[in-house]
Amino acid sequence: MNDQDMPAPGRNQARVCAAIAAAATLASGAAAAADWHFNPRVDLAGLYDDNYSLLPSGSAISVSGGQLGAQLGIVAHTPRTDFTLTPQLRSTYFPSEHEFNSTDGQVAALLHHAWQKANLTFNADYVNQSVFANERPDAVVPGGDQGGAGNGDSGRIVADNRQRLYHVSAQLAQQLGQRSNFEASAGYVNADYEHQIQGAQLDYRNGDGYLGFAYDATQFDTLRIGAVAEEYHTDSASLSSSHTDGLRAEWARRLTQTLRGYLRVGGARTTYDQPATGPKPDSASNVTYGAGLRGSYQVTEVYLDASRSIEPNGTGFLVRRDQLQLNVTRQFRPLVFGSIGLLGISDAATGGVGAASFENRHYATGFLQLERRFTRAWSMNGRYAYSWQSFSGETSDRRGNRFYLGVVYEAGRL
């Protein structure tokens, strides 16, 4: 059976597997000479949430129980190549609310290879998770560049559903001159849901690409300009797939030895496919932007980011997402750490069939966390989180409180 004869989900998974295999081939050449490390992590916690599905007031369902998580960080390093593979499992158990029990898995791989005048970074992720984990994003500091995308969350938990998400991306930087670089990136996301729920969780596929140039204006400043493209497809026959083209410019500056920031602005135009019935939707234009700071000091780490991006979404629409995030972590004593995180999201449909009926989403969450380490590997964490959400078509908002107390073992922690 050739690629064209395969059903769409099979073709998507085959492409992801082929990309991972290509990265594994590149990594295998350096594997024999690599310096390998294995970093296990296990956490066991008690959990209470007074609105686990983040439903409207009066419909909230509270849960209490336990959570167990385990992951293994496999790290290989050579003078030119860094490779990380991290399988993870997380399970929740609620004795009185069995319908909310779940076991989620994830495998994340990262490969970075450097040549004399070029660098390649490859990422691959597979996630199989309950929508309870995906539809309530947390204020977690991303590992990649600032102004990054979400996981297609719509914010609606209307059934016990599961998401299978495949994501691959690659970034290439090629030196052209002493101060200039050619940059290119490409990414692909495939999201499958166990149940198709209109307006909440619908299968989608999204590909994006970037071609541009970077110029080091000074030893502290880098300027970037480039073109972006994005292709979004939904399997819903009643909604429109779309194509987006745009331009983007960025100024990144190292403000001090420990603090760096960026400013980004761009424009994007989205056109929509002809639906099965009815007229073709008008095209839409949107301004995108980003601004942020990231600093690491002796006892304090700070992350601040504000962005507007065009993103795929499980509702079946390409959405314009405005996002604001703040994280601060501070070491109060040699073995005592505290952190605070705030995240705000606003989603609106860019256009397409049915866009007038799209209910704009506003979501905010924040947490306070205290960590007490007993040794370098063993620690205890206490955490409180508050979430709020509203939709333009609803008269009441949604609120939830979550309490967490757990013990963590992490062998490779610094």
CB neighbours of 342 closer than 8 A, spacing ≥ 6? 139, 324, 325, 326, 327, 364, 365, 366
The per-residue pLDDT of the chain, averaged, comes to: 89
The verdict on residue 61 lying in a domain is no
Give per-residue pLDDT as tens, 307-342.
999 998 898 888 999 999 999 999 999 999 999 999
The verdict on residue 299 lying in a domain is yes
Domain tally for the chain?
Answer: 1
pLDDT band at 235, cuts 50/70/90? Answer: confident
Q: What percent of the chain has pLDDT over 90?
A: 72
Name the phi and psi angles at 320, rounded to 5: -95, 115
Is the distance from CB of 263 to CB of 250 less than 8 angstroms? Answer: yes
Of the listed ranges 255-264, 300-309, 355-364, the least confidently predicted one is 355-364
Give per-residue pLDDT as tens, 167-194.
999 999 999 999 999 999 999 999 999 9
| 208: its two tokens | 């994006």
- Give the pLDDT confidence score for residue 184 in this predicted structure: 97
pLDDT at 140 over 90: no
pLDDT at 31 over 90: no
Q: What is the domain-level CATH number for residue 280?
A: 2.40.160
pLDDT at 6 over 70: no
CA separation for the pair 308, 149 (Å, rounded): 10
* Burial category of 332 from C-beta neighbours within 10 Å (exposed 0-12, middle 13-18, buried 19 and up): exposed
* Burial category of 52 from C-beta neighbours within 10 Å (exposed 0-12, middle 13-18, buried 19 and up): buried
The verdict on residue 31 lying in a domain is no
Is the distance from CB of 347 to CB of 357 less than 8 angstroms? Answer: no
Of the listed ranges 113-117, 159-163, 366-370, the least confidently predicted one is 159-163
- Give the pLDDT confidence score for residue 413 in this predicted structure: 79
Give per-residue pLDDT as tens, 217-228.
999 999 999 999
Residue entry with tokens 């949107």: 286
Q: What percent of the chain has pLDDT over 70?
A: 89
DSSP 179-247: SEEEEEEEEEEEEEESS-BTTTB--EEEEEEEEEEEEE-SSSEEEEEEEEEEEEEES-TTS--EEEEEE
The verdict on residue 132 lying in a domain is yes
The verdict on residue 52 lying in a domain is no
pLDDT at 32 over 60: no
CB neighbours of 115 closer than 8 A, spacing ≥ 6? 80
Average pLDDT on 345-369 reads 90
- E-strand spans in 297-335? 300-311, 319-333
The verdict on residue 75 lying in a domain is no
CA separation for the pair 398, 392 (Å, rounded): 12
Beta-bridge partner residues of 336: 333, 372
- Give the pLDDT confidence score for residue 2 in this predicted structure: 46
CA separation for the pair 316, 241 (Å, rounded): 8
CA separation for the pair 135, 381 (Å, rounded): 24
* Structural domain boundaries enclosing 141: 104-410
- Give the pLDDT confidence score for residue 133 in this predicted structure: 82
User: Which of 13-17, 150-154, 305-309 reaches the highest mean pLDDT?
Assistant: 305-309
Helix (H) or strand (E) holding 54: none
The verdict on residue 60 lying in a domain is no
User: Which of 120-124, 139-143, 317-321, 408-412 reaches the highest mean pLDDT?
Assistant: 120-124
Helix (H) or strand (E) holding 393: none
Helix (H) or strand (E) holding 157: none
pLDDT at 40 over 50: yes
Residue entry with tokens 């424009």: 267
The verdict on residue 391 lying in a domain is yes
